[in-house]
Amino acid sequence: MSQVLSSMAGNVWKILVKTGDHVEEGQDVAILESMKMEIPIAAEFGGAVKEVKVNEGDFVNEGDVLVELE
């Protein structure tokens, strides 16, 4: 199992995947909003989405788990 982590603190603007989706390495799984900029967060590994750990509108810190892949 691998985890997709937030690369910076910010608000979760959009979740691009749901449980059961298959993602490829480098595919964006979420978009954060920080300082009026949109920051895409990409999966470092491919796999199936086991769980989405955040909701749109949530505030996350750097290193927080956004999505778990299996």
Residue range 38-56, pLDDT digits in tens: 999 999 999 999 999 999 9
Residue segments in the chain with a per-residue pLDDT below the cut of 70: 1
| Per-residue pLDDT at 26 | 96
C-alpha neighbours within 13 Å on the C-beta side of residue 46:
3
Residues 13 and 56: beta-carbon distance below 8 Å: yes
